[in-house]
Structure 1
Amino acid sequence: MHPFLRIINRFLTLILVAAGIGVGSLYFLKVQFDKPGPLETAKVVVIPQGRGVSAIGEQLENEGVIADRRIFVTTSLYFNYLKDNSTLKAGEYEFEPGTSMRDVLDKLVEGKSIRHKVTVAEGLTSQQVVRKLLDHPELTGEITEIPPEGSLLPDTYLFRRGESREDILKRMAQAQQVFMAEHWKNRASDLPIDTPQEALILASIVEKETGVDEERPQIAAVFENRLKKGMRLQSDPTIIYGLVGGEGKLGRRILQSELDKKTVYNTYQIDGLPPTPIANPGRSAILATLNPAETDALYFVANGTGGHAFAASLTDHNENVAAWRRIQRQREKEEEEREAQEGAASTDEPGVDGDAEAGLAASAGIPAEGGGDGQPPLPKRNPKLDAAP
């Protein structure tokens, strides 16, 4: 064979061998890339901020999510996973048993991290909301200031581990603004309130007066009928807010002296609305306030079934009050009989333990000996933020 042809033959052979090796390597990488991973049980892995592909691959190998970090790094580059400046995103990820490298990379590139949630119930004060966020272990950061009362929309909010508490508050405030702006323009035409802030104030009272969704339009109508007639609202929750503020609960019955004392939140003593909301109302209470039921009712009282009895006249209302008091007396009698039976059946020595004493003290409005509740201090409230417009 001619020497030149021999050289050409060898060159072509080398090319074919190299191509074969390349195809084989590619096939090997693809098989490794798509085959089930080594995980036998689901595993949660937290990828810190600022880690590169190599460091993430090493972490995933150490955690048992992938079998070989070198293949992980190579395939992430070869299969163009990091094109268009894409990065592997930090976060908290859950990997199922047998998750392949392809699925691992898909999840990290798209940032499909675990979503946590925090549920803020309707009727909580801003201080109670702040306390709830401070107690949530997956949230980070401090809260510098308690938001204005009524400025937060109760809901379930999803977030990723490491999101700041301030960000959640901003989302809640924005959601409230959007919701109020959307529904304020569709309010009833004859409302005795002039601004969205006044609507929030009244909605917060409606929220605290009943937990029954179906009743809220009627409760709102009673208060709005009273405002139209120049009658005072006479709402117990406003007195409680004036006494305990953002703490939320009084823990005992309202005293007659507290009913008689004139404060800016005592709607038995002041005309119109209190200066600020007394809680953060939910969607149902806001909608009921903006579009109340059509009724002449001016009064309501508990009916013993979790709801209320409504009346348009004082005479009818007094009858409803008398019926409610009969129910109360019957319940008190049954409770006394039950306690007497339990006392007779008990063989324990009489006495009250320390926890019970603290509970009794708290229910009477007296701080238990020893002071604080062991919780971190709340941020300060800015009084200017709660001022009525």
Structure 2
Amino acid sequence: MWKHIAANALTFLIVALFLFGGVIAWGTNEYSAEGPLDQAICVQVRSGSNMRLVSVDLAEQNAISSPAIFRMGVDYSDKASLLKAGSFLVPERSSMAEIVDIVTRGGQSTCGTEIVYRVGVTRVVAQVRELDPVSGRFVELADFDPAEVGETPVAYTETRAADDTQYRVVIAEGVTSWQVVQALNSLEFMDGEVSDIPLEGNLAPDSYQVQPGDSVAELLAVMESSQARILASAWAERADGLPLSSPQEALILASIIEKEASTSDERFDVASVFVNRLNLGMRLQTDPTVIYGVTEGRGVLGRGLRQSELRAETPWNTYVIAGLPETPIANPGAATIEAALNPASTDFIFFVAKTLDPRDGHNFAVTLDDHNANVAIYRALEAERAALTDN
């Protein structure tokens, strides 16, 4: 009798273990399988939230088949403590495992409504936009200059009042450190006005996600750390034989290229011109350095250069001084730093704008005769425009 009971118990245990293993296998498969979501959604994870609340929200939006399996998968992968606040784009058919990775990997929010402050060379623009999860494109709700006196767009006011609004500061390539500080100090949602201007060239142009109450000084420190990493990496991979003795000289050259290159495609050719000139002992003779000598990076000149300014000796006027200026003249982007340290292999010594639209790039030349011919073409375009203006 006892043998019979023991045999039945063993059989029951085996069956139970088999069934339990089957349940685990089924749950594991469900966790990794394609999800039920038929179109992309934006999932908002509020500060202080947890995986239980997230799983309920995902189930309500039909993004997962089982909140329980979702949470068990989170626990098994030991990611419960890695949940990040923000708004995250969940593509259609995402598995539970993929969704967990999306809301725990960190980094910037990938969807939702955001206010973007774009700090450009000539002005700061505030933009309110919302990502359409289905198309994956941002829908612009408002675009305005916050410095201009006038009625603030309703979309901006409403978005500023919402708790889940994201904020982003985008620094354009070629902006000076003074311009960056002025722009950040003017942002009403950031704290701690800064009076000391970071060294020119030391701020990395990029897109930075910020939050209300963030410190201006801390954001500037992030920009400086980022630029230092970019410069160190590019310097380590620099081409041989460059007429540059230090990363700082590379940064100075990159800042000039940033102000002169009209298109991203011609950065490496512009870099080759300046490298060739340095190798030949020629003066760089570039207008942006003269302009920086006049403004010292504090705003835009807003007019043409005078002959007296072209002749004036400043630490930056490359028509007068030999070699590189004393400091950078702007904050160059990573791509331009790369171009400065890995220029194209050319014999170009000269360049001049192709047309009156700077977006059209430059004509490059090896000889002075060819350069003068290119200049003549440009002067003819200037004369043609002047004649049309007079009429």
Q: TM-score range by the shorter chain?
A: 0.5 to 0.7
Residues in 1 aligned to 2:233 and 2:209: alpha-carbon distance in whole angstroms: 23
The superposition leaves residues 208-236 of structure 1 with CA deviations (integer Å, 9 ceiling, x where unpaired) of 3343346425531564267x36xx55432
Amino acid at match of 2:330: A
Asked if 1:104 corresponds to 2:102, the answer is: no
**1:240 positional shift:** 1.4
Residues in 2 aligned to 1:54 and 1:259: alpha-carbon distance in whole angstroms: 67
- Report the CA distance shift for 1:14/1:236 in structure 2 as closer, same or farther (over 3 A): closer
Question: Among residues 201, 204, 207, which one is paired with 2:255 in the alignment?
Answer: 204
2:241 alignment counterpart:
187
1:90 alignment counterpart:
84
2:231 alignment counterpart:
176
1:57 alignment counterpart:
55
2:382 alignment counterpart:
328
Equivalent positions of 1:172-321 (< 5 A) are 172-183=227-238, 186-188=240-242, 191=243, 194-211=245-262, 212-213=266-267, 215-217=269-271, 219-220=273-274, 223-224=277-278, 228=281, 233-246=284-297, 249-270=300-321, 272-281=323-332, 282-283=336-337, 285-287=339-341, 293-294=346-347, 301-302=352-353, 304=355, 306-308=361-363, 310=365
Count of residues in correspondence between the two structures:
316
- Report the CA distance shift for 1:303/1:58 in structure 2 as closer, same or farther (over 3 A): closer
Residues in 1 aligned to 2:225 and 2:169: alpha-carbon distance in whole angstroms: 14
**1:241 positional shift:** 1.4
**1:175 positional shift:** 0.8
**Unpaired runs of at least 5, structure 2:** 112-167
Q: Which has the larger radius of gyration?
A: 1
State the Cα RMSD in Å. 5.0
Is the 8 Å Cα contact of residues 124 and 248 (structure 1) preserved in structure 2?
Answer: no
Bigger mean CA deviation after superposition, 15-24 or 86-95: 15-24
1:354 alignment counterpart:
none
1:81 alignment counterpart:
77
Partner SS, residue 296 of structure 2: helix
Equivalent positions of 1:358-369 (< 5 A) are none
Residues in 2 aligned to 1:21 and 1:236: alpha-carbon distance in whole angstroms: 79
Partner SS, residue 201 of structure 1: helix
Is the 8 Å Cα contact of residues 125 and 278 (structure 1) preserved in structure 2?
Answer: yes
- Report the CA distance shift for 1:209/1:102 in structure 2 as closer, same or farther (over 3 A): closer
Residues in 1 aligned to 2:271 and 2:108: alpha-carbon distance in whole angstroms: 41
Asked if 1:43 corresponds to 2:41, the answer is: yes
Amino acid at match of 2:68: R
- Report the CA distance shift for 1:5/1:64 in structure 2 as closer, same or farther (over 3 A): same
Is the 8 Å Cα contact of residues 42 and 97 (structure 1) preserved in structure 2?
Answer: yes
Residues in 2 aligned to 1:319 and 1:106: alpha-carbon distance in whole angstroms: 59
Is the 8 Å Cα contact of residues 278 and 323 (structure 2) preserved in structure 1?
Answer: no
Higher strand content, 1 or 2: 2
Is the 8 Å Cα contact of residues 149 and 279 (structure 1) preserved in structure 2?
Answer: yes
**1:29 positional shift:** 4.4
Residues in 2 aligned to 1:256 and 1:308: alpha-carbon distance in whole angstroms: 24
1:383 alignment counterpart:
none
Is the 8 Å Cα contact of residues 152 and 175 (structure 1) preserved in structure 2?
Answer: no
**Unpaired runs of at least 5, structure 1:** 338-389
1:378 alignment counterpart:
none
2:156 alignment counterpart:
none
Is the 8 Å Cα contact of residues 276 and 347 (structure 2) preserved in structure 1?
Answer: no
Identity %: 32
Residues in 1 aligned to 2:95 and 2:64: alpha-carbon distance in whole angstroms: 8
Partner SS, residue 93 of structure 1: strand
Residues in 2 aligned to 1:284 and 1:30: alpha-carbon distance in whole angstroms: 46
- Report the CA distance shift for 1:250/1:285 in structure 2 as closer, same or farther (over 3 A): farther
TM-score by length of 2: 0.58
Higher RCO (Cα < 8 Å, 6 or more apart): 1
